[in-house]
Amino acid sequence: MTLKELDYRTGDHIEVSLLWSPESGQLAVVVVDEDAGEEFAMEVEPEEALEVFRHPFAYADRRQLEFRRPLISQAA
């Protein structure tokens, strides 16, 4: 699956990416916390994508999270 990075931000050793799959139309927000050595991804709907991208931790406790490093390395 090809993933394209639509948006990216970083601050306080936390990186947040909004990724999109052109094949499936799937959107995901990926969060990497370098200090904690943790990362997670969550699937999002188009109408909520920017809100989750801006505030991923507010939505993380309500979502099924995926913990996969390959998701990040596939972003183009």
Looking at residue 34, what is its pLDDT?
A: 83
Distance from chain centroid for Cα 45: 12
Short-list 34, 28, 14, CA closest to 75: 28
The whole-number pLDDT of residue 62 equals 73
Q: Domain limits of the chain?
A: 4-73
Give the per-residue pLDDT at 66: 61
Q: CA separation (Å) from 71 to 6, 23, 48, 50?
A: 14, 15, 20, 19
Tell me the pLDDT of the chain (76 aa) as tens digits: 689 999 999 998 999 999 999 999 999 999 998 887 788 889 999 999 999 999 998 888 776 666 555 444 444 4
